[in-house]
Amino acid sequence: MNREITVNVCMGTGGIAAGGEQVMKALKQEFEAAGIKNAKIMENCKLHKVGCRGFCARDVLVDVTIDGETSTYQYIEEKMVKRLVQDHVVGGKPITEWLVGDDYHTFHEKQTKIVLHDLGKIDPESIDEYLGVDGYKAAQKVVAEMTPEEVIKTIKDSGLRGRGGGGFPAGVKWAFCAANESDQRYIICNADEGDPGAFMDRSVIEGNPHAVIEGMIIGAYAIGSSLGYVYIRAEYPLAVDRLHTALNAARERGYLGEKLFGTDFNFDIKVKLGAGAFVCGEETALIASIEGERGMPRAKPPFPANKGLWGKPTIINNVETFANVPPIINKGADWFASIGSEKSKGTKVIALTGKIRNTGLIEIPMGMTLKEIIYDIGGGIEGDKLFKAVQTGGPSGGCIPQQYIDLPVHYEGLQSVGSMMGSGGMVVLDETDCMVAIAKFFLTFTQEESCGKCVPCRIGTKRLLEILTRITEGEGRKGDIELLQQLAEDVRDSSLCGLGMSAPNPVISTIKYFRHEYEAHINQKKCPSKTCNKLLTFFIREHQCVGCGMCIRACAVNAITGEKKQPHHIDQDKCIKCGSCFDACKFNAVLKE
Amino acid sequence: MAGLAAKFGSGAMTNSVAEIETAKALLVIGSNTTENHPIIALRMKEAVRKGAKLIVADPRKIPLTKFATLWLRHKPGTDSVLLNAMMNVILAEGLEDKNFINERTEGFAEFADSLKEFTPEMAEPITGVPAEDIRKAARIYAEAENAGIYYAMGITQHVMGTNNVHAVGNLAMLTGNLGKPGAGVNPLRGQNNVQGACDMGSLPNVYPGYQKVDSPEVQKKFEAAWGKPLSSKIGLPASLMTEAMIEGKLKGMYIFGENPALSDPNTHHAVKGFESLEFLVVQDIFNTETTDLADVVLPSASFAEKTGTFTCSERRIQKVRPAIASPGEAREDLAVISEIYQRLNGEAVTVPDPEAVFAEVASLWPGISGVSYERLEEESLQWPCPSADHPGTPYLFKEMFPREGGKAQFTVVPRVISSELPDTEYPYLLTTGRELFHYHTGTMTRRSTGLDAVAPTAFIEINPADALKLGIADGDQVNVSSRRGTIKLPTRVSEIVPPEVVFIPFHYKEASANKLTSDALDPICKIMEAKVCAVRIEK
Amino acid sequence: MITLTIDNKTVEVVKGSTVLEAAKKLKIDIPTLCYDSRMKPHGACRLCIVEIEGMRRPVTSCTTPAEQGMAVTTTSAHLERLRKTTVELLLSDHPNDCMVCIRAGSCTLQELAYKYGIRENRFGGAMRDHNRVDENPFIMREQNKCVLCGLCVRVCEEVQGVSAIGYAGRGFEAKICSPFEHDLNCEFCGQCVSVCPTGALSAKMWAGHPRHEGVELTETTCTYCGCGCNITLHSLGNEITRVSSRTDNHNRGWLCVKGRFGYEFINSEDRLTTPLIRREKGGALEPASWEEAISLVVDKFSAIKEKHGADALGGLASARCTNEENYMFQKLFRSAIGTNNVDHCARY
Amino acid sequence: MEKQMEEVLESIYQKSVAHGDNIITVLQNMQNELGYIQEEAVYWYSKRANIPASQFYGVATFYSQFHLNPRGKNIITVCSGTVCHVKGAQRIVSKLKEELKLKDKEQTTKDMNFTLENVNCVGACSIAPVVIVNEKVFGKQSPDKMVKNIKPYKE
């Protein structure tokens, strides 16, 4: 009997973090141990390293395919591998209790995958596997058979909009750039994904780097550029490695470098590592950074499409945008335009995270409602908590409350409720999340990331944060809400770059939808979600306390006393309301109010 | 400036500072511009930012080399060989401006002939500059649409100073870089009113406006104007006066606003001269090494206390206005000079009016007859400015050169060797100059707390290689001696100077570089060779 | 040429001009803090924002290129509100010690605070603590007064070509300093001091002298090198208290360390204040009256001319002194004495 | 400075000339070779490449990746992304600071064994809160778990 055995191990950052590498190692060992190595059946048995398939919550995910029969296991750990190989691979009996459930399948069925289509299927470190899924066909077609004008027209017709946040029509941007007289034009892939709670770009580059490269080749041909850059965060070591591997492979095959596909078209790509500055996601700051300067944004106009890198016309699109390009060329503008909503075509990759059952990377057709995303794909709220809001667009976005649960997710939809698509981060929040604290969290972030060049952002975000802080600490004053609103608007309207313009959004939107929480903090000095410790008192319910002493050990200021096996007690004068005891208690004996 | 006068009929910056920004190429030779003419240097940096190519020719790694497209580190005293070699390349590669040469110059054939021997290969061992760099420099300069040459004492203070100036002029003529903006031959003047002093006839051979004392009609003109018979005999240049004093030919001297006892090369000799005088009058704002030798010292007003005009490097005449009164009994030099004049003439003593004096000059020198205090209140004017409605002249020689025939004169420049080169006894070549934080003999800057704090002492710059050889560490005190004297000062080990060359700023009286320098003379313009002499260094 | 309208007035400017330059041409005043026509625009202070038809949000006029047919509005309730907030934010992180600040009266920030009538501040909060004392001899740096306009950084890089200072850090804590926050060690041209809009940069030697009261300004020409820079002498009574330079002159307001800071010699104790005469050879110089001194000179010169002829006398004129003085000097020698033995030290 | 360092810097310089590297890349190389951005290295390089030291300092202090001080043997990086935040990253930080006896702004322990840093979202939100020790990623952490997890690095 000659069985074809394929074992897929999820090795995205999520997978690796959950122990993917150990699982891989164990698998190899167990295969050897099982003596499968000398047997003929090993001939076409492969151990795949696959990129993120999205369902990171269940890592480590392992597919075992025997003669086309695939079983997917979840939560696999090193110590489980032995039995997996013995029972399933050798014994041929799948271990049912470890298999994923139906929700795993609905999670995928509900999605429409263009960008993520091949993630999890192909080995990102093998160009041949990419070629196996029609890779570089689009680039070949474009370079060999189409004029730049035709390419730009196709992208225009497809209705593809920038996936980095602004949602500016990609084709139009390309046309602007191409229209400029210049000896050189540059094309830049923005992979400086900085939004907290977003990992779309990282996953795409880790899972299918060639798609991005191919998209850039097509863009370069369209605008007439011979040099491109990928600006990627140094904090993404795996993505950087796989990108380099892919670039080298592409060069070897003649898809990059001189005379691409045997034409006179030359194009190559350099990789620039970001050095840790969120603001460099802003295109002019990114350009400054590639030029080796402090990532301080430059005023627009003039726009990069006219005067960008080294003063030359420059296109900047993000990873997802470029990854959409090859399919559009292959399947046509109409096909792409047929997906999604009227103004927002195609799909959007979303990092679905937060207080939700199925966190992970998903791709939905533009226009799917929040409800479908959160409940059908996301499987609803974690634990038995109540949904409160969903934060989209990262630090530049806003919080969308319950009443908009049926809101279609596309550029216009999100904007209409004061949030934005951003790069596609979607953080679900439940009743235990304080919206003032959330606003404060984002302002802490933007304020730390402000480059300091322009006054409204440099000092304005600092002041916004200070006001939010005093509110969460019970020192909020009458009029603080109005002051926040005024300052937020002024910072939004007078800041130099996108960071400053959008930094106030979390404040504005939370005040808009959760004003009562602000008022509670300021007037009643209470945090309705019991998050802001300074506004809480911690005490121990005697009848529930078993006197285990965990809280005593957890308390940094020795505020807790009590004999073993006797109910403990918190001395409120000593308590600094850090919440350690609350976390430490295994018996819900610690109460906060 | 005799050199330029002979070639062009006028000796001054041919072009303006503002034009530097428009130049496509700049050749800076023998000028540490950033330290000695900081504000002119700003324009040079601006030009570079605007894409101009900058060639710096200097033995020292002066700050401007940071901005240079090409830095030629030639040996001191080999400037004219370097320039000749550049011109050799220009002719060899046909980069010269034939039209300009034909229409606006004379003496080309003989001159071109003289260049044949100066191949880059011949120049390389002499100048120490790689032949290929000489070629590069020639191309950069000659191919530029407009290229300016800027030089200072590094060119003139040599026995072959006049030759150097001729070579510079030849280069500009050869490439047609005269009579247009952002080009020209531009001597940068070391002191605020060097240009003015020359313009005003403080020279032994010319009256105000460069009118020759040995020309009968000029003589008549001034006799008429001054109402006295005048001498047609060319006077003694400063550099020959010392000798004349020692020989007893010169008995009485009147010096104002200068400190030759410190600034003259070979000061021992100069001092000897002053000491042998029968009578010495010195007029200054401070006691100096020179007032120490005087029989009469007259206290004068500083620039902040007087009315008058200065003329800066670019021939720009500007007002000087009093802000405060002079201390004690100090008086404006003009009042003192004029009183002595009047009393020698037996006239009644009157208080002189600077405006009237300027008007008198304007009436005697057509070049500025259009300039008046009235106009200078509103604007500053660059001569020539022949009429009241004339806007002044940013650059010279647009149409013609002020010589008979209106053409510029090519001059053959043979190779001349510095009078004193290093030998076994005095193995190091000393060159002198200024530093940013001090000025001339330091009488003013060393009385400024801040300046004195950042640059408190003299020093000798010496290359690390030589320091190693002599076992000298940075800061060590050394004795530096030449055939004329010895001074003691700390070392500054630095790559700014090349091996076997040392540099000493001449601001410091306690370690006066000019005790060492040579007073060998340029045969034509009688300038002293302050830039090159041989010294010995001992720990 | 490009034609555009600003506040409904039409103006024509050369291509490549900015909206701000166009407005200046119309004499329309737009507040700025980080703009200086002699340097590249920066767009950081956000005060020169204007509304332009067809643009979603206000843009800085100092960075926006003027375009054919643009319709610009330089003032509106909204713009003024934004400008006021910006100034208020700046003041919320500023010592506001104008009473004792060396810039009082010539401080752009102070003027803006006055213009927008900011008495109390809505945004009081944490302030920077950049109190490092810089020991350099010339330039006083008070970084808590810095508004990050970047003019000093730009002038040091773009004009002086030295880049002795630069930005450091980011966000609220961003500051301007020399590498690794050492004391300044540069050419000390003081260009940075001359462009600083606040009290963040000043000259140490200004301290203690009156800022404006009783100070007279005199336009004159620098006495040092041959650049001929125009300078303004600030004087109180007979003391020179400061040197500055107007930006509209041929040196564009730029000076060097000597011109800007090297003026103390004028009021030096060492100045000669009375004529001195050495009454016998080898003796000491002794004070004398002008009458005695000048008579002696006249008698001696006459005697020498009598005895040895005019050519036994010679004079060295001065490249430091005025044209008038030099003219008079050579005239003295040529006509009153009768010799051409007159020269000066130009060659050295 | 020692010969060795000069050679390192010289090779970085040669590489940068060959690749047309910008200041950021040069500093990244410097940090990789020398552990952190050293003052004398910057001055040496600035002179060598004729680039003002102020530019290096400006860039080095702008990007959070660069360090002007020596760092510990082990680098503990706590993700400060949204999800990690709402899932208690901050409590992990304070616990670790307590554990490592780090005062308010201190990042590195006296014995130079640990450096504690924050990093913007590492994009492993599904296993938040995330802490990375050197190369190793720890998911779904709690203050107490982390205290255990760093034990092995203490020797």
Q: From the centroid of its chain, how far is CA A27?
A: 30
Amino acid at B513: A
CB contact under 8 A, C167 and A463: no
In a domain, A106, yes or no: no
Q: Which CATH number characterizes residue C247's domain?
A: 2.20.25.90
Query: What tens digit of pLDDT does each residue of B213-245 get?
Result: 999 999 999 999 999 999 999 999 888 898 999
D57 → chain C, closest CA residue = C179
ipTM: 0.89
Closest Cβ–Cβ partner in C223, C257, C295 for B303: C223
Q: Structural domain tally of chain A? A: 5
What is the residue whose two structure tokens read 């990059």?
A: A256
What is the per-residue pLDDT across C294-307, written as a single tens digit (0 to 9) for each?
999 999 999 999 99
Which of B208, B228, B241 is the closest to C327 by Cβ?
A: B208
For testing contact with chain A, the best of C40, C68, C86, C176 (most A CBs within 10 A): C86
Among candidate residues B143, B108, B38, B99, the one with its CA nearest the CA of residue B408: B108
Q: How far is CA B110 from CA B176, B411, B501, B524, in A?
A: 18, 9, 36, 21
Q: Are B225 and B364 in contact (CB under 8 A)?
A: yes
A422 and A395 within one domain: yes
Closest CA to C175 of A491, A295, D64, A451: A451
Whole-number Cα distances in Å, C26 to A241, B82, B438, C30, D90: 57, 54, 45, 11, 56
Residues of D in contact with A285 (CB under 8 A): none
State which residues form the domain around A168.
127-337
Q: Based on the number of CB atoms within 10 Å of its own CB, is C53 exposed (0-12), middle (13-18) or buried (19 or more)?
A: exposed
Give the model's pLDDT for residue D90: 84
- The alpha-carbon gap from B7 to the nearest alpha carbon of chain C, in Å, equals 19
What one-character-per-residue DSSP string does A67-120 give? Answer: TTEEEEE-S--HHHHHHIIIIIIIT----GGGB--HHHHHHHHT---SSSTTTT
- For B447, the closest of C218, C230, C265 (CB atoms) is C265
Binding-site residues of D for [2Fe-2S] cluster:
79, 84, 121, 125
User: Is A136 contained in some domain?
Assistant: yes
pTM score of the predicted model: 0.91
Q: Cβ contact (<8 Å) for B324 and C238?
A: yes
Which chain C residues are Cβ-neighbours of A458 within 8 angstroms? 148, 171-172, 174
The reply to whether C129 touches chain D by the CB within 8 Å rule is no
Q: Is B50 exposed, middle or buried (0-12, 13-18, 19+ CB in 10 A)?
A: exposed
Interaxial angle between packed helices D39-49 and D23-34, expressed in degrees from 0 to 180 and rounded to the nearest 10: 140
Instruction: Tell me if D54 and C165 make a contact (CB, 8 A cut-off).
Output: yes
| Among candidates C240, C255, C274 on the partner chain, residue whose Cβ is nearest the Cβ of B329 | C274
| Strand boundaries in A530-577, DSSP class E | 538-540, 560-561, 569-570
Q: Which residue of A has its CA nearest to D123?
A: A199
B499 interfaces chain C, CB cutoff of 8 Å = no
Q: Find out whether A396 and A422 touch, Cβ atoms under 8 Å.
A: yes
Residue C68, CB half-sphere, CA atoms under 13 Å: how many? 3
Query: Does residue B112 belong to the interface with chain C, where contact is any CB pair within 8 Å?
Result: no
Annotate B236-280 with three-state secondary structure: CCHHHHHHHHHCCCCCEEEEECCCHHHHCCCHHHHHHHHHCCCEE
Q: For chain C, what percentages of helix, strand and coil (3-state, to nearest 5) are there?
A: 30, 20, 50
When computed from its CA atoms, the radius of gyration of chain D, rounded to whole angstroms, is 18
- Residue C80 domain flag: no
Q: Which residues pair with A269 in a beta bridge?
A: A228
Separation between Cα atoms, residue A225 and residue A178, nearest integer Å: 9
Q: Is residue A118 part of a domain?
A: no
User: Can you give the pLDDT at residue C348?
Assistant: 43
Q: Do C273 and B329 touch (CB under 8 A)?
A: yes
- Report the pLDDT value the prediction gives residue B25, as an integer from 0 to 100: 95
Q: Are strands B206-207 and C216-221 parallel, antiparallel or unpaired?
A: unpaired
- Of C63, C93, C170, which is closest to A459 when you measure between CB atoms? C93
Residue C280 within a domain: no
CA distances from D21 to A270, A559, C220, D44 (A): 11, 56, 49, 17
Considering the domain architecture, whether residues C196 and C260 belong to the same structural domain is answered as no
Kindly state whether residue C320 falls inside one of the protein's structural domains.
yes
Please tell me whether residues C63 and C93 are part of one structural domain: no
Q: Pairing state of beta strands C9-13 and A268-274?
A: unpaired
Helix axes A480-494, A505-519, angle to 10 degrees: 180
Q: Please, are residues C307 and C326 in contact by the beta-carbon 8 Å criterion?
A: no
Q: Which residues of C touch A459 (CB under 8 A)?
A: 89-90, 92-93, 123, 172
**Under CATH, what is the fold of the domain D74-154?**
Glutaredoxin (3.40.30)
Q: Do A88 and A138 fall within a single domain?
A: no
Whether D62 has its CB under 8 Å from any CB of chain C: the answer is: yes
Using the predicted structure, report yes or no on whether residue B159 has a pLDDT greater than 90.
Answer: no
Best mutation target among A278, A445, A454, A455 (most C Cβ atoms within 10 Å) is A455
Contact at CB, D86 and A433, closer than 8 angstroms: yes
Interface of D with A (CB under 8 A): 21-25, 27-28, 55, 58-59, 62-66, 80-86, 88, 91, 94-95, 98, 119-128, 130, 137-139, 142-144
Tell me: do C199 and C97 sit in the same domain. yes
How far is residue A162's CA from residue A321's CA, in Å, rounded to a whole number?
6
> In terms of CA atoms, which chain A residue is nearest residue D124?
A14
> Distance between CA atoms of D126 and A56, rounded to whole angstroms?
6
The token pair at A152 is 């730009």
**Type of residue found at D140:** K
* Residue B169: CB atoms within 10 Å: 26
Q: Chain B residues with CB inside 8 Å of C334's CB? A: 201, 207, 213, 222, 226, 230-231
> Is D125 or C146 the better-scoring residue by pLDDT?
C146
Determine the Cα–Cα distance for residues D73 and D70; give it in Å rounded to an integer.
10
Residue C58 lies in a domain: yes
Query: Is D54 within 8 Å of C169 when comparing Cβ atoms?
Result: no
Best residue of C93, C170, C173 to probe chain A, by most A CBs closer than 10 Å: C170
- Give how far A151 is from chain D: nearest CA, Å: 32
Q: CA of C19, closest CA in chain B: separation in Å? A: 23
Instruction: Encode chain A (593 residues) as per-residue pLDDT tens digits.
Output: 456 777 888 777 677 777 788 888 888 888 888 776 544 444 445 666 666 666 767 778 888 888 778 888 888 888 888 888 888 888 888 888 888 887 787 788 888 889 988 887 888 889 999 999 999 999 999 999 999 999 999 999 999 999 887 789 999 999 999 999 899 999 999 998 878 777 888 889 988 999 999 999 999 999 999 999 999 988 888 899 999 999 999 999 999 999 998 899 999 999 999 888 889 989 999 999 999 999 999 988 889 999 999 999 999 999 999 999 999 999 999 999 999 999 999 999 998 888 888 888 889 999 999 999 999 888 889 887 899 999 998 888 899 999 999 999 999 999 899 888 888 889 899 998 999 999 998 999 999 999 999 999 999 999 999 999 999 999 999 999 999 999 999 999 999 998 999 999 999 999 999 999 999 999 999 999 988 888 888 889 888 898 888 888 888 788 998 888 888 999 988 888 878 888 788 888 988 88
Domains within chain B, CATH numbers bracketed: 2-187 (3.40.228.10), 194-382 (3.40.50.740), 428-538 (2.40.40.20)
Average pLDDT over every residue of B279-290: 93
C299: nearest CA partner in chain B:
B344
Question: Mean pLDDT lowest for which of A548-562, C26-40, D42-56?
Answer: A548-562
Mutate to test the interface with D, among A22, A233, A278, A353 (most CBs of D within 10 A): A353
Return the HEC string of C260-304.
HHCCHHHHCCCCCCCCEEECCCCCCEEECCHHHHHHHHHHHHHHH
Which CATH number belongs to the domain containing residue A94 in this structure?
3.40.30.10
Chains near C, with 3+ CB pairs < 8 A?
Answer: A, B, D
CA distance B459 to B430: 12
Instruction: Note whether residue A48 is domain-resident.
Output: yes
Average pLDDT, chain B: 90
C245-304 residue pLDDT tens: 999 999 999 999 999 999 999 999 999 999 999 988 888 999 999 999 999 999 999 999
Residues C176 and C257 reside in one and the same domain: no
Regarding chains A and D, contact by 3 or more CB pairs under 8 A is answered as: yes
Q: What is the CATH number of the domain that holds C35?
A: 3.10.20.740
Range of the domain at C239: 216-267
C308 vs B249: CA distance, rounded Å: 8
Least confident of A222-226, B82-86, B152-156: B152-156
Q: Which of D24, D95, D122 sits opposite A235 (nearest CB)?
A: D122
What whole-number distance in Å separates Cα of residue B5 and Cα of residue B2? 5
What span, in angstroms and rounded, lies between the C-alpha atoms of A27 and A31?
6
C89: nearest CB among A301, A452, A456: A456
Burial group, residue B321, by CB count within 10 angstroms (0-12, 13-18, 19+): middle
Per DSSP, the residues of A244-273 read HHHHHHHHHTTSSBSSGGGSS--BEEEEEE
d(CA B130, CA D22): 31
CA–CA min distance D61, chain C (Å): 5
Whether A112 is covered by a domain: the verdict is no
Highest mean pLDDT among B9-23, B369-383, D73-87: B369-383
In chain D, where the domains are located? 3-62, 74-154
**CB-CB under 8 Å, A355 with D86:** yes
**Closest alpha carbon to C277 in C285, C269, C265, C266:** C285
Q: Nearest by CB to D58, from C162, C164, C167: name it.
A: C167
Considering the domain architecture, whether residues C41 and C119 belong to the same structural domain is answered as no
Neighbours of chain D (3+ CB pairs under 8 A): A, C
C202 within domain boundaries: yes
How many whole angstroms separate alpha carbon A353 and alpha carbon A361? 9
Q: Which amino acid is at A508?
A: I
Question: Looking at residue A40, what is its pLDDT?
Answer: 42
> Which chain A residues have a beta carbon less than 8 Å from that of D24?
272-273, 275, 289, 292
| Lookup: tokens for B535 | 């010294």
Query: Are residues C221 and C192 both part of a single domain?
Result: no
How many domains, in total, are found in chain C? 4
Kindly report the CATH number assigned to the domain that includes residue A463. Answer: 1.20.1440.230
Closest to D54 (Cβ–Cβ): which among C163, C169, C170?
C163
CB-based contact C115:C47 (threshold 8 Å): no
Residue B360 has pLDDT above 90, yes or no: yes
- A160 and A284 in a single domain? The answer is yes
The CATH number for A379's domain is: 3.10.20.600
Nearest CA in chain A to D77: A235
Q: Judge whether D17 is closer than 8 Å to chain C, CB to CB.
A: no
Phi-psi region at C235: left, alpha or beta (left = phi > 0; alpha = psi -120 to 50): beta
Note whether A touches B: 3 CB pairs or more under 8 A: no
Contact B254 C321 (CB under 8 A): no
Dist CA C78 CA A490 (whole Å): 9
Contact B165, B4 (CB under 8 A): yes
- Taking each continuous run of H as one helix and of E as one strand, the counts in chain C are 8, 16
HSE, CB side, 13 Å, CA atoms: give it for residue C77. 0
- pLDDT at residue C37 is higher than 70: yes
Stated length of chain D: 155
Beta bridge partners of B377: none
Q: How far is CA C300 from the centre of its chain?
A: 47
Q: What distance in Å separates the CA atoms of residue B375 and residue B365, rounded to the nearest whole number?
A: 17
Contact A437, A462 (CB under 8 A): no
The answer to whether residue C229 sits within a structural domain is yes
Q: What is the 3-state secondary structure (H, E, C) of chain D?
A: CCHHHHHHHHHHHHHHHHHCCCHHHHHHHHHHHHCCCCHHHHHHHHHHHCCCHHHHHHHHHHCCCCCCCCCCCEEEEEECCHHHHHCCHHHHHHHHHHHHCCCCCCCECCCCCEEEEEECCCCCHHHCCCEEECCEEECCCCHHHHHHHHHHHHC
Bridge partner residues of A289 (DSSP): none
- Between the CA of residue C283 and those of A60, B293, B296, C276, what are the distances in Å? 104, 11, 12, 12
| CB nearest C171 (choices: A455, A456, A458) | A458
d(CA C9, nearest CA chain B) in Å: 32
Q: Is the pLDDT of residue D80 over 90?
A: no
Q: Are B45 and B81 in contact (CB under 8 A)?
A: no
Q: Distance of CA C117 to CAs C83, D69, D144, Å?
A: 12, 45, 55
Looking at the fold, whether A549 and A441 belong to one and the same domain comes out as no
**C92 and C66 in one domain?**
no
